[in-house]
């Protein structure tokens, strides 16, 4: 039978205690799944001023609980974020130390490579190579390559104005690969070997310099 709380009842405090006990018991049953939703709803139907005020207080408490939980979670997130930031700083410091050590030993290997007699190094068109038990020390030769910075605009206009139709695709897209195959670098000047034309005053076609590069390869 449902309890009706009477505000004039001298046993109000006792009734409230029992009512809260019913609430707690119902919540526990709800959490473990052993309750009847219909009976549970009927049991807590508001039938008095006191019960309505009690439920209002319950909603207020739940709002406070939600706010405290949000604050707790935010504090945890802030703490974890501070840990993440700290770990990132530690990672940056560690990587800097690793890279400094790596650069130190690479410099020693580079100096050793330079001290070796020429005949002990294997030379190819693009590099010098020296084999060790754990890998190879490689020094790539400096190279020059032709690079188009804006092949869809300035260079396309150059090709159109000079009637090089063989480098123009049907949609007036520059055939950069075709043009590049005909271009060579001679005495730091770009020349079209097919026409003998010197390519100059074309802003977006330049000679890109690649310096000598030191590398280390490891055996797997």
Burial of 189 (0-12, 13-18, 19+ CB in 10 A): exposed
> Which pLDDT score, from 0 to 100, does residue 166 have?
83
The C-alpha atoms of residue 139 and residue 115 are separated, in whole angstroms, by 13
Q: Given phi > 0 = left and psi -120 to 50 = alpha, else beta, which region is 28?
A: alpha
Between residues 98 and 58, the one the model is more confident about: 98
Instruction: Tell whether 59 and 138 lie within a shared domain.
Output: no
> Which pLDDT score, from 0 to 100, does residue 42 have?
73
Confidence tier at 19 by pLDDT (50, 70, 90): low
Q: Which of 102, 108, 139 is nearest to 124 (CA)?
A: 139
Stretch among 30-44, 95-109, 112-126 having the lowest mean pLDDT:
30-44
Asked whether residue 108 is domain-assigned, the answer is: no
Instruction: Tell whether 129 and 211 lie within a shared domain.
Output: yes
**Which range of residues forms the domain containing residue 208?**
123-218
Count of other CB atoms within 10 angstroms of residue 53: 13
How many structural domains is the chain composed of? 2
The C-alpha atoms of residue 171 and residue 182 are separated, in whole angstroms, by 21
> Which pLDDT score, from 0 to 100, does residue 25 have?
56
Confidence tier at 117 by pLDDT (50, 70, 90): very high
Mean pLDDT of 116-141: 94
Instruction: Tell whether 134 and 195 lie within a shared domain.
Output: yes
pTM of the model: 0.48
Which of 53, 70, 87 finishes a domain? 70
Which residues, in sequence order, are CB contacts of 46 under 8 Å at separation 6+? 52, 55
Asked whether residue 96 is domain-assigned, the answer is: no
Asked whether residue 159 is domain-assigned, the answer is: yes
Q: Which of 183, 128, 173 is nearest to 153 (CA)?
A: 173
Terminal Cα distance for the chain, rounded: 80
Q: What percent of the chain has pLDDT over 70?
A: 77
Which of 51, 70, 89 finishes a domain? 70
The C-alpha atoms of residue 112 and residue 137 are separated, in whole angstroms, by 10
Instruction: Tell whether 62 and 139 lie within a shared domain.
Output: no
**Residue-wise pLDDT tens digits, 48-83:** 888 888 888 888 888 899 999 999 999 999 999 999
Asked whether residue 104 is domain-assigned, the answer is: no
Mean pLDDT of 29-52: 70
Which of 34, 55, 70 finishes a domain? 70
Asked whether residue 30 is domain-assigned, the answer is: yes
**Residue-wise pLDDT tens digits, 151-188:** 667 777 888 888 787 887 766 778 888 888 999 988 88
């Amino acid at each position: 039978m449902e309890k009706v709380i009477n505000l004039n009842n001298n046993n109000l405090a006792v009734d409230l205690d029992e009512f809260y006990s019913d609430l707690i018991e119902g919540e526990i049953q709800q959490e473990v799944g052993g309750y009847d939703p219909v009976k549970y709803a009927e049991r807590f139907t508001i039938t008095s001023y006191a019960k309505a005020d009690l439920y209002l207080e319950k909603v207020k408490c739940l709002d406070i609980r939600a706010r405290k939980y949000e604050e707790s979670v935010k504090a945890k997130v802030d703490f974890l974020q501070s840990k993440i930031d700290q770990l990132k700083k530690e990672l940056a410091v560690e990587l800097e130390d690793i890279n400094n050590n790596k650069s130190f030993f690479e410099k020693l290997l580079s100096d050793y490579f330079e001290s070796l007699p020429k005949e002990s190094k294997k030379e190819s068109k693009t590099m010098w190579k020296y084999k060790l038990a754990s890998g190879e020390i490689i020094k790539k030769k400096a190279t020059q390559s032709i690079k188009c910075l804006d092949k869809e605009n300035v260079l396309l206009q150059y090709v159109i104005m000079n009637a090089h139709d063989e480098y123009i695709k049907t949609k007036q897209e520059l055939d950069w690969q075709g043009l590049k195959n005909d271009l060579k670098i001679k005495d730091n000047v770009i020349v079209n070997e097919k026409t003998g034309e010197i390519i100059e005053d074309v802003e977006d076609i330049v000679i890109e310099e690649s310096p000598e590069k030191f590398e280390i390869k490891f055996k797997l």
